[in-house]
Structure 1
Amino acid sequence: MNWTNIAINLGILLYILTILAIIYTIILENRNPVRTLAWMLVLILVPGIGLFFYIYFGMNYRKIKMFSMKGLGDFKWLQYMSEDQKQRIKKTELLKKEDMEAVKPLMTLLLNNSKALLSRNNTVEILNNGEATFSSIFKAIAKAKKYIHLEYYIIDKGELGEQLKELLIEKAKEGVEVRVIYDDVGSWKLPKRYIKEMQAAGIQIYPFLPVRFPLFTNKVNYRNHRKIVVVDGDTGFIGGLNFADRYLHGLPGIGIWRDTHLKVKGEAVTSLQVVFLFDWYFVRQELLLNKAEYLPNKKVDGNVVVQTVASGPDSDWTSIQQAYFTLINMAKKYVFISTPYFMPGETTINSLKTAAMSGVDVRIMIPYKSDSTLTHWCTRSYVEELLEAGVRVFQYRKGFNHSKVIVMDGLVSSVGTANMDIRSFEQNFEVNLIIYDRNVSRQLGSDFLNDLKGSTEISIQRWKFRPKRDKIRESLARLFAPLL
């Protein structure tokens, strides 16, 4: 008896049974038929590698609840408040009557899909570059008296990283509570020395979903892309800028980094705090949501109405994707979209084409040069079908535009961390502010139009005759859209 052959045959049989079990699971998930067939073919035709790719990219963690927040309990207060607000939307005018009628569907959707509570006593300040953003964040941190909560996808060594570390250490020595969450993949280059110095000063700093190869490679695909700062429950920050020097000084060969961040005061800061505290529970298993000092619900002399929308593998719905889809479908006059990476999936791109063909002025701004070659070519692969439907597409040339902004009819706007791509919609932990305010939305719209002055519009006649090698690169890159 050849035990080697027996072991090989048993290994092959076990692999086949594993593949059949996975295929059975995929079928029962009732995914998009094209995706289902694609994964089945990969698993069958590419032995070994196909299984690796499925574990790494294909498993639907929203379905299997890998990131379930059940350990936090049901949070009946959140459920109660969201139900109460749904009733108030029907009866109360948070905005002018005509504006309220226009935005009711979006408000109700976000209460249903993510319990995104409405807040009305807020002020919102738009920060349009790294210099303004980091200066404002550092000033707010320097004034902290009680606590600083900071959550970022990227914290990198360098000028900004050092300035942040020194300031946080200084505040910790003053007795201010400092809690920091950094994404373990986004902040991969963060030195251990940096972390130990902060810990030695009493700062609580922890990675989100640590990756330890080779056991947890599947977790690389589910990252915390949020950028949140909350100071004393009084001031909050959210947007596209990370703590890395390129966000302040730009990149060689590409230019200055153009981005949009928000400084928020008022009730919306409490909503940002809730997102942070949920993530804190995830990384520390420490429940702070039941402590009143962390949920002060401060009001200010402002009347900006805001919903804070969080989405990720821990939620049942792709909340931000649904918000974008609804914003586009609600538009009567125009939709302005700025996104650094455009790989939106079939549903979103069809909504954009439908809006444009219905007479809505749809304009999309993408970078002329990108910090990622593969996403650059993948983004370009969608341009021709958009142009054919009447969508106007512009390439920003005064550096790298990393803003994630949508403005609809000068009435509603969205600013946050989510790109218009499948990764942001389905895989990453993201957070956006939906702002129901004409002044803020008009300012964001004005900023968009100002950015157009540094952009060139793509002509469909010239685009169709771009080099064939570019078309090949675009088509090949698009094959990787679900993975980017």
Structure 2
Amino acid sequence: MSEFLSAYWPHFLAAISVVTGAAAAIHAAMTKEDVRAATGWVGVILLSPIIGAFFYLIAGINRIRHRAFATRRSARHALWQEFYGPAVPRAAVEQCFSPQFIPMKQVGDTVTRFPMTAGNVIEILADGDTAYDAIAVAIEQARSSIILETYIFDRDRAGLRIADLLVAAHKRGVTVRVLIDSVGARYSVPSIVRYLREKGLRTQTFNGKVITGLRLPYANLRTHRKIIVVDNEIAFTGGMNIREAFSRTLHGDDHARDTHFRITGPVVADLFAVAAEDWHFASGEKIAAAEQPALDVSPNAPTFARVVSSGPDGSIETNHKMLMGAFSVAQRRIRIMSPYFLPDRELISALVTAARRGVEIDILVPSENNLTLVDRAMTAQFDQVIKYGCKVWRVQGAFDHSKLMTIDGEWSYVGSSNLDPRSLRLNFEVDLEVLDTGFAEIIENRVDRALEGARLVTLHDLRNRPFPLRLAEKILWLGSPYL
């Protein structure tokens, strides 16, 4: 047998290469909706026998197909009617806000899973210390349940503070569930996962195990969501992970900036539903939702909000579709604050078209970035928006991780999504669509403060840098979908 194998191993290798390559290429051609992605993957597979197919298995399969997902989505529509009654009607949007946002509500009703609801109260938590203190108070006052889902939960002073509060809640009888992304759990060594489990908390990792590895073939798919729901009454969401780098008290004046939100009202139930579904996917345990009060759609409660969940399952590119709709309805100004600005060609076209219509567009990115390769790649793309009238600003000071957007001082979009390929197509994200002038004003004030001292990026500056640097940035930009 050994002689046979030694004589014919090249034939077996060739056969394996043909079979795996053909299967991977067929899968890419049949499942990819973007012709550029399909062509690129087929090229990689054909030009790199076996290795290309293996790489496609790890990084190219973008959709988690979980039978329970579809079942829960259909059940959720019934849940809306049972617990909420009808969603915010078109007339309420027309009465309280500019007519341009009526089509935007229609977009959200069509592409998202959750209704727009009224009567929500959203409090901005403008820094890490404020956010962690508010979360700590909510955990200390929890009576029945806590569910926490996050990308990064470090085993540092900030993480251990939250962890110990969760443990204390568990000891007094509160049901505590913690879900951490399997990649994000590795940011801290040793991981917080073992600490939480040793203390008796129900703790799961999303899409893999910290020690034994990631879950194939979906190793490139992560939960980037940040959700905490306490007693089904109070929720926290936004862009902030749990780590001391965001705390001035623990990290000093060079601490990273971010923006988080404390929420009460009907959208809490929808944030709970998102976290509960992810928990079910990771653990197999179904969590029953608590009954919520009926909607208040009167003009006296005009804070309309909607949970927008997106990810490489049935909700793929939902955040992308919402952004396309928002850029299309903008009439006066668009304000964007993002740590990673790498939009695809469709979003760039929508922004450029808005600029050509006379919409004032400000895009704020950090001057100092925590991901150097991503920063170089997005710098290579700045000229595509600047030359058509968009303004790109480099915000000075410490790294700012906030993801904030406003349209015409009325519509806001905040949450976990970055404007990069990973957030738009690979990660599981959760954002809030908010229609409220007061909330939009708060977000715009946050942007205005960031603009103080910010440096405007110009075409002259971009084009007068050394050619080797610009070439290196373009090469990194080519690989931006995988950064």
TM-score by length of 1: 0.91
The amino acid that maps onto 1:11 is L
1:296 alignment partner in structure 2:
292
The amino acid that maps onto 1:33 is V
The amino acid that maps onto 1:176 is V
The 5 A counterparts of 1:25-40 are 25-29=27-31, 31-40=33-42
1:143 alignment partner in structure 2:
141
Task: Give the 3 Å change call, closer, same or farther, for CA 338–86 of structure 1 in structure 2.
Answer: farther
Task: Give the 3 Å change call, closer, same or farther, for CA 180–87 of structure 1 in structure 2.
Answer: closer
Task: Give the 3 Å change call, closer, same or farther, for CA 374–68 of structure 1 in structure 2.
Answer: farther
Aligned residues of 1:161 and 1:244 also touching (Cα < 8 A) = yes
The amino acid that maps onto 2:325 is T
Task: Give the 3 Å change call, closer, same or farther, for CA 196–371 of structure 1 in structure 2.
Answer: closer
- Secondary structure (helix, strand or coil) at the match of 1:478 reads helix
Query: Which consecutive residues of structure 1, in runs of 5 or more, have no partner in the other structure?
Result: none
The 5 A counterparts of 1:22-421 are 22-29=24-31, 31-61=33-63, 65-70=64-69, 72-73=71-72, 75-78=74-77, 81=80, 92-97=90-95, 99=97, 101-190=99-188, 194-211=192-209, 216=215, 218-249=217-248, 255-289=254-288, 291-292=289-290, 295-297=291-293, 303-421=302-420
Give the count of matched residue pairs.
477
Aligned Cα root-mean-square deviation (Å): 2.8
Aligned counterparts of 2:122 and 2:214: Cα–Cα separation in 1? 43
2:470 alignment partner in structure 1:
471
Aligned counterparts of 2:287 and 2:272: Cα–Cα separation in 1? 10
The amino acid that maps onto 2:168 is E
Aligned counterparts of 2:468 and 2:76: Cα–Cα separation in 1? 57
Aligned counterparts of 1:299 and 1:233: Cα–Cα separation in 2? 16
Aligned residues of 1:269 and 1:297 also touching (Cα < 8 A) = no
Aligned counterparts of 1:423 and 1:157: Cα–Cα separation in 2? 25
Aligned residues of 2:366 and 2:399 also touching (Cα < 8 A) = yes
- CA drift of 1:27 comes to 2.5
Listed one character per residue, the Cα deviations across residues 412-450 of structure 1 (whole Å, up to 9, x for unaligned) are 001100000111011110000000000000110111011
Aligned counterparts of 1:249 and 1:54: Cα–Cα separation in 2? 42
Aligned residues of 1:142 and 1:167 also touching (Cα < 8 A) = yes
1:426 alignment partner in structure 2:
425
Aligned residues of 1:417 and 1:431 also touching (Cα < 8 A) = yes
Aligned residues of 2:83 and 2:293 also touching (Cα < 8 A) = no
- Secondary structure (helix, strand or coil) at the match of 1:435 reads strand
Aligned counterparts of 2:342 and 2:272: Cα–Cα separation in 1? 30
- Secondary structure (helix, strand or coil) at the match of 1:47 reads coil
- Secondary structure (helix, strand or coil) at the match of 1:431 reads strand
Mean Cα deviation higher: 465-474 or 222-231: 465-474
Aligned residues of 1:334 and 1:408 also touching (Cα < 8 A) = yes
Aligned counterparts of 2:243 and 2:128: Cα–Cα separation in 1? 10
The amino acid that maps onto 1:10 is F
Aligned counterparts of 1:259 and 1:207: Cα–Cα separation in 2? 24
The amino acid that maps onto 2:314 is S
Aligned residues of 2:181 and 2:223 also touching (Cα < 8 A) = yes
Mean Cα deviation higher: 101-110 or 440-449: 101-110
Mean Cα deviation higher: 42-51 or 222-231: 42-51
Task: Give the 3 Å change call, closer, same or farther, for CA 311–172 of structure 1 in structure 2.
Answer: same
Mean Cα deviation higher: 124-133 or 194-203: 194-203
Counterpart pick for 2:14 among 4, 12, 15: 12
- CA drift of 1:96 comes to 4.7
Task: Give the 3 Å change call, closer, same or farther, for CA 266–214 of structure 1 in structure 2.
Answer: closer
Aligned counterparts of 1:132 and 1:102: Cα–Cα separation in 2? 35
The amino acid that maps onto 1:346 is R
Aligned residues of 1:114 and 1:315 also touching (Cα < 8 A) = no
- CA drift of 1:411 comes to 0.9
1:435 alignment partner in structure 2:
434
Aligned residues of 1:44 and 1:50 also touching (Cα < 8 A) = yes
Aligned residues of 2:84 and 2:293 also touching (Cα < 8 A) = no
Aligned residues of 2:257 and 2:399 also touching (Cα < 8 A) = yes
The amino acid that maps onto 1:160 is A
- CA drift of 1:105 comes to 2.2
Aligned counterparts of 1:346 and 1:86: Cα–Cα separation in 2? 39
Corresponding position: 1:445 with 2:444: yes
Aligned counterparts of 1:253 and 1:469: Cα–Cα separation in 2? 36
- Secondary structure (helix, strand or coil) at the match of 1:223 reads coil
Aligned counterparts of 1:347 and 1:26: Cα–Cα separation in 2? 21
The amino acid that maps onto 2:445 is S
Aligned counterparts of 2:294 and 2:229: Cα–Cα separation in 1? 13
- CA drift of 1:147 comes to 1.2
Task: Give the 3 Å change call, closer, same or farther, for CA 368–253 of structure 1 in structure 2.
Answer: farther
Mean Cα deviation higher: 280-289 or 305-314: 280-289
Identity over aligned pairs, percent: 26
The amino acid that maps onto 1:204 is R
Listed one character per residue, the Cα deviations across residues 350-394 of structure 1 (whole Å, up to 9, x for unaligned) are 111111122110110111111111101011011112110110000
Aligned residues of 1:82 and 1:116 also touching (Cα < 8 A) = no
Aligned residues of 1:172 and 1:203 also touching (Cα < 8 A) = yes
The amino acid that maps onto 2:282 is V
- Secondary structure (helix, strand or coil) at the match of 1:362 reads strand
Aligned counterparts of 1:225 and 1:235: Cα–Cα separation in 2? 20
The amino acid that maps onto 1:6 is Y
The amino acid that maps onto 1:58 is G
Aligned residues of 1:146 and 1:177 also touching (Cα < 8 A) = yes
- Secondary structure (helix, strand or coil) at the match of 2:134 reads helix
- CA drift of 1:266 comes to 1.1
Aligned counterparts of 1:96 and 1:328: Cα–Cα separation in 2? 19
- Secondary structure (helix, strand or coil) at the match of 2:92 reads coil
The amino acid that maps onto 1:186 is G
Task: Give the 3 Å change call, closer, same or farther, for CA 214–229 of structure 1 in structure 2.
Answer: closer
- Secondary structure (helix, strand or coil) at the match of 2:331 reads coil
